Amino acid sequence: MARRLTPTPASGGTTPAEIQLRSDAQRASIRSTGATLRSYQSQGRELLDGFSRQGWSRDGRGQLLLPWPNRIRDGRYRFAGQSHQLPISEVGRNNAIHGLVRWVTWQVEEAEPEQVRLAVELTPQPGYPFWMRFEAEYQLTMGGLEVTVAARNLGRGPAPFGAGAHPYVRLAGHGVDDLFLRIPASRRLTADGQGIPTGEVEVEGTEYDFRDGRRLGRLTLDTCYSDLPREGWSVELGVRPGFDQVRVWADGAFPYVMVYSGDGVSPPGRRRGGLAVEPMTCAPDAFNSGLGLLVLGPGETFRGRWGVSRGR
């Protein structure tokens, strides 16, 4: 039976609280701030390019992106005939980025040695005057780490919504340049200098085509892929095809994936050390374009699953 608990500080009150999951040869660390996935190990090997227990999540490492993933141009959008202005959280590009719950404390509602469920309520506020409840359940399974994200509209009217996650994956001893990458997507979104989509194009015959898997090399990726398998998909990063892989997978609730080669992360010494593979329910700037945007009615719930696993 699940037990209720209150997380304790990781080290003498100097760092935020964490929950440690254990199952046979798997370990995961989830920080209560943002319900952030800090670390995931399988068979003694770290599969995430995360951050230390005394550190914090730079560049979105392991964070959940709610109630929208990626960017909203200039932080502005219109919904139901009303104009809204969000805080600018990506100052260099003048965008609102990655939602509103990355830096708030989530409550641990249920926990067992192999799984934990956290929740937070987002109350109406300037820029997003909607009342939402979010839940995240992390579970160690036979197949690896599985994450279920849920959202419920607690308000009296419809609410615009999108969800995403921001894990960086890696294989120890290898930078991303040396690894084989497979992305089962036949289209990608082009973008302008703000990172906002300008169109959608086929990947066939271009350097962005990773459907059959190939070495990444020096290609810079900060690319949103679309036209993924509808029932679900996985992106694989490996030493060579079919061998020693780390996988990020998602179900059909996430029809977009952002892939980022880490060229601009901080500090500079960590650049291209891990690959961000970001499941998303919608395209960047979906609050304006409508691409993949979900609208939750009063009492309506969204649920989607994604995860990380180790291959052969």
**How many Å apart are CA 279 and CA 185, to the nearest integer?**
13
Mean pLDDT of 89-110: 97
Mean pLDDT of 115-133: 98
pLDDT recorded at residue 249:
98
pLDDT in tens, 184-200: 999 999 999 999 999 99
Mean pLDDT of 31-51: 96
Give the lowest-confidence range in 9-23, 48-62, 127-141.
9-23
Residue 312: which pLDDT band, with cuts at 50, 70 and 90? Answer: low
Residue 12: which pLDDT band, with cuts at 50, 70 and 90? Answer: very low
Cα angle: 111, vertex 116, 122; to 5 degrees = 110
pLDDT recorded at residue 1:
40
pLDDT recorded at residue 194:
97
Reading the block at residue 12, the tokens are 């003498």
pLDDT recorded at residue 4:
44
pLDDT recorded at residue 269:
87
pLDDT recorded at residue 227:
98
Cβ atoms of 170 and 246 closer than 8 Å: yes
Q: Which of 147, 117, 165, 181 is nearest to 307 (CA)?
A: 147
Q: Omega into 67 within 30° of 0, i.e. cis?
A: yes
pLDDT higher than 90, residue 9: no
Reading the block at residue 224, the tokens are 């949103």
| DSSP 3-state of 278 | strand
pLDDT in tens, 228-283: 999 999 999 998 776 789 999 999 999 999 999 999 998 898 999 999 999 999 99
Cβ atoms of 121 and 153 closer than 8 Å: no
Q: pLDDT higher for 131 or 2?
A: 131
Model's pTM, two decimal places?
0.94
pLDDT recorded at residue 142:
95
80: how many CB neighbours lie within 10 A of its CB? 10
What's the whole-number average pLDDT of the chain? 94
**How many Å apart are CA 147 and CA 273, to the nearest integer?**
24
H or E element: which one contains 124?
Answer: none
Q: Which of 135, 111, 122 is nearest to 17 (CA)?
A: 111
Mean pLDDT of 45-69: 96
Residue 15: which pLDDT band, with cuts at 50, 70 and 90? Answer: low
Cα angle: 179, vertex 183, 185; to 5 degrees = 160
Domains for the chain: give ranges and CATH numbers: 18-310 (2.70.98.10)
- Helices (H) and strands (E) counted in the chain, each on its own, are 1, 27
220: how many CB neighbours lie within 10 A of its CB? 12
Cα angle: 190, vertex 294, 79; to 5 degrees = 90
Residue 14: which pLDDT band, with cuts at 50, 70 and 90? Answer: low
Residue 172: which pLDDT band, with cuts at 50, 70 and 90? Answer: confident
Q: Is the dihedral of CA 255, 261, 265, 269 positive or negative?
A: positive
